[in-house]
């Protein structure tokens, strides 16, 4: 017979922690457990022999008693009574359960109802509900559906949903899916313990490949009962026992493959008793199960029987070692490996596979500005150094940072020879440079190696991730020197070469104006500077590049020409689609009259702006209809005059203008006949002539 044993069978870290706390209390005197410490009568009986009394009601506890709160937690009202009685309270509540307490307490403070997916009357579930103003316990999908139908108002509420830590993933998911469909604002937290999920997966995989299954656990243990339920879905021959004496050996006749798992409250010695009984009765070969999937199980079933003994011997030894370490002690400075089981705002809880509950401060994961939920996840395997052990509380403070730093020292030493690029986080600025944290190792970067200009403030590097090379390591003095500049220079060289290799005329780049001169602007297009001539900055007439751009401006430019050997690039900035010459040709023809502005006077004539960016020449002979000595005799810069377009050179973009042509046209134009004015008699001279011929009145005066 082959006996396959689940790797995670037995105590979880929460149970180990509570049992260890009970042992320490018993060593210093009698104590009281409020309720069964764990759901295993053998363990409770054994602790009772050592001086731990178990009571079911807080009224059975007296003032001054040393009280141990079991792994499942206690009702909030019972804790209040114990505090009022002046008892000495030692809280062994599983950190995973305490995390659920925090979730529901916060929800209740916000006025939100809480749904707990779990077993009614179970101590863990009742302790959770005691912290809710409005707590509803639902055991399965049927109850969930009935409750949702009876409470249609729940659809609009922001319900908080949690699960008992030992729930099956299948049952939880069915309930959660129903709630999601109706209560769209619900906040659902998967609070099933990671250790529980792992045990359930192992039980499922084992039951698929075995002819019979043994599940060891207390009859009141929820997680053990769930393991049995899971096994029954795949295997018809399942025995749920509390100890070796409960085994019905007759059910193993003609069975060749037996799987064994155990609940989180089952101690190692009970598992060993069951294994020994099976081995003695059936000459069973023990195999420590490595959580195979169904496909792996099929492969093992087909393996030759002759190969089994060698593999069995090694795995049996591993299992014995695991049993011996169930309540092992750890020491300060020891390197440990564990599994992350919960994450809170202040600490990351780690299952060490020992009697201690390990925790790492979240600050170790958030020093570089990273969120703790992005740096570590429930289920992750993690290595750390033991910093401090608290035997009374059964906790061990761990440091991942210290272990990482030890590894990092080796890495930085190797990086000097390999010239490897490393990444770090700038933590501080000092007189001569900055300090970079490289995986926990302080690396000093002198100011000259920061790749900043000499006058720049080093503080601009603070709290930024940087890439650097290690240039010097002295482990004895704990001195490490690095250079950001070397990495930056190498990256710039690579970037520049890539840019030159891809460059072509007409290609567009987004760049930054680095400097200005009287003849143009220099633009950085990615590590390479190109020049935009002043004539390429604007279609209009400008005197200085600063009229268009400033240092630091981000601009879009294109390549007009380049010389790869001389490393020179001519860039264009003005938009070809806004070419004023094209606009001029669309608007004017030879013979048209245009209103122009005098922009420059020369000895041979005057230049006039027809449109912004388009100038024409008025020759000195075309300025007036008579001979002039110089253009200044008639025109001034800034004058706006009418001129006739007399010629256009499309190829050379030249325009000839004439004011004289318009003056001549005005002179030769025929004058329009004037209509005789109407005589109103106002200006007439009045003559009075006598019979003798004498003139008198106005006419006489006129004659005089």
pLDDT tens digits along 489-498: 888 888 888 8
- 508 contact partners, CB below 8 Å, separation of at least 6: 556, 557, 558
d(CA 2, CA 13): 29
Which pLDDT value is given to residue 527?
81
- For residue 580, pLDDT over 90 is answered with no
Three-state secondary-structure class, residue 123: helix
| Residue 597 pLDDT level (bands cut at 50, 70, 90) | very high
**Per-residue pLDDT averaged across 80-91, rounded?**
90
Pick the CATH number of 592-668 from 3.90.850.10, 2.40.37.10, 3.40.50.300, 2.40.50.140: 2.40.50.140
Known catalytic residue at 124: yes
CATH number for region 503-578 = 2.40.50.140
Which pLDDT value is given to residue 577?
66
Euclidean distance between the first and final Cα of the chain, in Å? 164
Which region, left, alpha or beta, applies to residue 681 given φ > 0 means left and ψ of -120 to 50 means alpha?
left
Which pLDDT value is given to residue 699?
44
Structure token pair of residue 217 = 């656990």
To the nearest 10 degrees (0 to 180), the angle between helices 308-324 and 268-282 is: 150
- For residue 281, pLDDT over 70 is answered with yes
Which pLDDT value is given to residue 685?
46
| Residue 104 pLDDT level (bands cut at 50, 70, 90) | very high
**Burial (Cβ within 10 Å: 0-12, 13-18, ≥19) of residue 399:** middle
Which pLDDT value is given to residue 280?
76
CATH architecture for segment(s) 335-402: Beta Barrel (2.40)
Among 27, 41, 124, 536, the active-site one is 124
In this predicted model, what pLDDT tens digit does every residue of 116-148 receive, in sequence order?
A: 999 999 999 999 999 998 899 999 999 999 999
Which pLDDT value is given to residue 426?
92
Question: How is the chain split into domains, by residue range?
Answer: 2-9+199-324, 13-94, 96-188, 335-402, 419-489, 503-578, 592-668
**Per-residue pLDDT averaged across 239-259, rounded?**
89
- For residue 368, pLDDT over 50 is answered with yes
- For residue 64, pLDDT over 80 is answered with yes
Which pLDDT value is given to residue 688?
54
| Residue 690 pLDDT level (bands cut at 50, 70, 90) | low
Closest CA to 200 of 2, 3, 6, 5: 6
Pick the CATH number of 96-188 from 3.40.50.2300, 3.40.1010.20, 3.40.50.1000, 2.30.30.280: 3.40.1010.20
- For residue 370, pLDDT over 80 is answered with no
**Per-residue pLDDT averaged across 27-56, rounded?**
89
d(CA 316, CA 335): 25
- If you average pLDDT over every residue of the chain, what do you get? 83
- 410 contact partners, CB below 8 Å, separation of at least 6: none
| Residue 406 pLDDT level (bands cut at 50, 70, 90) | confident
In this predicted model, what pLDDT tens digit does every residue of 150-162 receive, in sequence order?
A: 999 988 889 999 9
Exposure string (b/e) for 414-445, b if CB count within 10 Å is 16 or more? ebbeeeeebebbbeebeeebbbbbbbbbebbb
- For residue 611, pLDDT over 70 is answered with yes
Q: CB–CB of 438/423 below 8 Å?
A: yes
If one compares 158 and 316, the residue with the highest pLDDT of the two is: 158
CATH architecture for segment(s) 419-489: Beta Barrel (2.40)
- For residue 538, pLDDT over 90 is answered with no
- For residue 606, pLDDT over 90 is answered with yes
Which pLDDT value is given to residue 258?
92
**Per-residue pLDDT averaged across 668-690, rounded?**
53
Beta bridge mates, 605: 602, 619
- Kind plus residue range of the DSSP H or E element containing 513: strand 508-517
Q: Is there a common fold for 96-188 and 592-668?
A: no
Structure token pair of residue 465 = 């991730």
Closest CA to 33 of 92, 76, 84, 116: 92
Which pLDDT value is given to residue 286?
65
d(CA 218, CA 240): 9
- For residue 67, pLDDT over 60 is answered with yes
Q: Per CATH, is 2-9+199-324 categorized as 3.40.1010.20?
A: yes
Closest CA to 97 of 357, 376, 325: 357
**Per-residue pLDDT averaged across 435-462, rounded?**
88
d(CA 462, CA 606): 61
| Residue 691 pLDDT level (bands cut at 50, 70, 90) | low
Exposure string (b/e) for 120-129, b if CB count within 10 Å is 16 or more? eebbbbbbbb
CATH architecture for segment(s) 13-94: 3-Layer(aba) Sandwich (3.40)
d(CA 72, CA 122): 9
Which pLDDT value is given to residue 120?
92
Which pLDDT value is given to residue 297?
33
């Amino acid at each position: 017979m082959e006996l396959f044993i689940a790797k995670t069978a037995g105590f979880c870290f929460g149970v180990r922690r509570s049992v260890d706390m009970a042992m320490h209390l018993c060593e210093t005197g009698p104590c009281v457990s409020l309720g069964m410490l764990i759901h295993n009568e053998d363990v409770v009986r054994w602790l009772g022999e050592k001086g731990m009394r178990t009571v079911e009601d807080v009224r059975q506890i007296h003032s001054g008693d040393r009280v141990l709160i079991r792994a499942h937690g206690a009702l909030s009202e019972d804790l209040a009574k114990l505090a009022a009685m002046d008892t000495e309270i030692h809280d062994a509540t599983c950190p995973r359960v305490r995390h659920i307490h925090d979730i529901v307490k916060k929800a209740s403070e916000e006025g939100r109802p809480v749904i707990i997916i779990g077993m009614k009357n179970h101590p863990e579930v009742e302790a959770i509900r005691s912290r809710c103003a409005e707590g509803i316990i639902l055991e399965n999908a049927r109850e969930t559906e009935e409750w949702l139908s009876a409470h249609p108002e729940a659809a609009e509420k922001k319900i908080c949903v949690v699960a008992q830590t030992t729930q099956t993933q299948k049952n939880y998911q069915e309930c959660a899916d129903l709630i999601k469909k109706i209560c769209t604002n619900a906040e659902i937290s998967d609070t099933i313990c990671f250790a529980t999920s792992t045990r359930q997966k192992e039980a499922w995989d084992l039951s698929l490949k075995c002819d019979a299954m043994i599940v060891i656990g207390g009859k009141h243990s929820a997680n053990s009962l769930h393991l049995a339920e899971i096994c029954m879905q795949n295997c018809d021959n399942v025995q749920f026992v509390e100890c070796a004496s409960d085994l019905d050996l007759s059910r193993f006749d003609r069975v060749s493959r037996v799987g064994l798992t155990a609940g989180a409250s089952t101690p190692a010695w009970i598992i060993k008793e069951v294994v020994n009984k099976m081995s003695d009765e059936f000459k069973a070969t023990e195999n420590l199960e490595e959580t195979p999937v169904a496909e792996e199980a099929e492969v093992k079933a087909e393996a030759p029987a002759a190969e089994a003994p060698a593999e069995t011997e090694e795995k049996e030894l591993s299992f014995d070692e695991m049993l011996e370490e169930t309540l092992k002690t750890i020491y300060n400075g020891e390197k440990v490996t564990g599994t992350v089981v919960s994450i809170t705002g202040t600490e990351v809880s780690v299952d060490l596979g020992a009697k201690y509950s390990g925790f790492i401060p979240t600050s170790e994961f958030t020093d570089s500005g990273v969120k703790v939920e992005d740096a570590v996840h429930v289920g992750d395997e993690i290595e750390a150094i033991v910093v401090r052990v608290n035997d009374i509380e059964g906790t061990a403070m761990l440091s991942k940072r210290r272990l990482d730093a030890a590894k990092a020292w080796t890495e930085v030493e190797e990086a000097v020879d390999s010239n490897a690029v490393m990444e770090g986080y700038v933590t501080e600025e000092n007189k001569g440079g900055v300090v970079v944290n490289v995986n926990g190792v302080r690396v000093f970067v002198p100011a000259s190696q920061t790749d900043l200009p000499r006058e720049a403030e080093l503080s601009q590097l603070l709290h930024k991730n940087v890439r650097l090379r290690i240039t010097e390591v002295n482990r004895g003095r704990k001195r490490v020197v690095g250079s950001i500049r070397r990495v930056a220079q190498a990256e710039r060289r690579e970037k520049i070469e890539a840019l030159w290799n891809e460059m072509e005329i007409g290609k567009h780049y987004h760049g930054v104006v680095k400097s200005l001169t009287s003849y143009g602007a220099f633009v950085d297009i990615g590590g390479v500077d190109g020049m935009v001539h002043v004539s390429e900055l604007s279609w209009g007439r400008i005197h200085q590049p600063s009229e268009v751009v400033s240092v630091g401006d981000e601009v879009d430019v294109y390549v007009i020409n380049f010389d790869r050997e001389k490393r020179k690039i001519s860039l264009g900035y003005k938009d070809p689609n806004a070419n004023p010459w094209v606009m001029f040709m669309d608007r004017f023809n030879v013979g048209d009259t245009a209103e122009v502005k005098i922009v420059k006077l020369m000895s041979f004539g005057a230049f006039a702006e027809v449109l912004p960016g388009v100038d024409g020449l008025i020759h000195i002979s075309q300025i007036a209809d008579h001979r002039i000595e110089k253009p200044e005799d008639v025109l001034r810069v800034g004058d706006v005059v009418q001129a006739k377009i007399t010629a256009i050179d499309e190829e050379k973009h030249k325009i000839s203008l004439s004011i004289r042509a318009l003056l001549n046209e005005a002179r030769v134009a025929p004058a329009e006949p004037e209509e005789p004015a109407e005589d109103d008699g106002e200006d007439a001279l009045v003559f009075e002539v006598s019979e003798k011929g004498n003139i008198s009145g106005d006419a006489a005066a006129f004659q005089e």
